[in-house]
Copies of this chain bind each other. A is one copy, B any other.
Amino acid sequence: METVRRLRDHATADEVYDAIKKEHPSVSRATVYRNLNLLAQSGEIKRVEVPNGADRFDHRTQNHYHAECLRCGKLIDVDMEYMESLENRIADPKGFEYLGHDILFKGFCEDCRSDNGGLTRAQKLPTQTNTNF
């Protein structure tokens, strides 16, 4: 079942389901979700949570950051050092127990940066300066 990590590129549960279904048409969506959850909990794959979008599952299990295309929704790996203890920089912990962090970059992927038009998740952003998240 884990051989589904051959999909490599940040597949959503549904993409995994579709891929599995081709070889094992009887497998149900529920089973795929259940097993992805198990694998993610055991650490064999990594769940990448995307706000307002389906969770994606990553065969790379080390910590790293992602960038999301605001037009097509694609997720790409970002080539940047993981900031191990970013949370040490926080000035006033106020009793909060920091366990980790996640950074999500936003923008347009190579394919999408030109075609200005069409549906996009960017519509939810403030319109004046799209750099204001």
Partner of A99, one of B46, B81, B102, B108: B108
| Closest 6 pairs (CB-CB, A-B) | A49-B51, A95-B110, A43-B126, A79-B91, A79-B92, A99-B107
Partner of A127, one of B42, B52, B96: B42
> Which residues from chain B contact A76 at a C-beta distance below 8 Å?
94, 96
Contact across chains for A102 and B104 when beta carbons are under 8 A apart: yes
> Which residues from chain B contact A99 at a C-beta distance below 8 Å?
70, 106-108, 130-131, 133
Contact across chains for B104 and A101 when beta carbons are under 8 A apart: yes
The CA of A106 and the CA of B90, in the complex, are separated in Å by 13
Let me know if A18 is at the binding interface, CB within 8 A.
no
The CA of A66 and the CA of B131, in the complex, are separated in Å by 18
Contact across chains for A103 and B105 when beta carbons are under 8 A apart: no
The CA of A63 and the CA of B126, in the complex, are separated in Å by 12
Let me know if A10 is at the binding interface, CB within 8 A.
no
Contact across chains for B94 and A132 when beta carbons are under 8 A apart: no
B-contact bits for A49-84, CB 8 A (1 contact / 0 none): 111100100000101000101100000101111000
Q: A49-B52, A101-B106 are in contact. List 12 more A-B contacts (CB 8 A).
A: A41-B123, A43-B126, A43-B132, A46-B126, A49-B51, A63-B132, A76-B96, A86-B105, A96-B109, A96-B113, A97-B113, A99-B108
